[in-house]
Amino acid sequence: MRLRENGVTWQEIDGELVILDLVSSTYLTTNGSGAFVAQLLQTDRAAADLAAALVTEYGVDPAVAARDTEAFLAELRRRELLVEA
């Protein structure tokens, strides 16, 4: 999966990310770890790879990283911001 490119723009501000969906005229803001995951989603990635990257980058517990990754991906899906490969 990866972030949808068409009709979406984003801007990083002070380590956080603002994603604007031009189709629905809505936006989503993320914290630093969400910005990190969103950057990884510029190319096709599996959820397990994203969680592993969070463990490596932030030193969080693997179970917490997996749970948080799934929650973030669920929100992106709900907003139709993901393209499933």
- With the CA atoms of 59, 61, 67 and 71 taken in that order, what torsion angle do they form, in degrees rounded to the nearest 10? -20
- Residue 15's pLDDT band, with cuts at 50, 70 and 90, is confident
Domains of the chain, each with CATH number or no CATH = 2-83 (1.10.10)
pTM: 0.90
Other CB atoms within a 10 A radius of the CB of residue 54 amount to 23
For the segment 32-64, what is each residue's pLDDT rounded down to a tens digit?
999 999 999 999 999 999 999 999 999 999 999
Question: Which ranges in the chain belong to alpha helices (H)?
Answer: 32-40, 47-58, 62-78
Going by C-beta distance under 8 Å and a sequence separation of 6 or more, which residues neighbour residue 75? 28
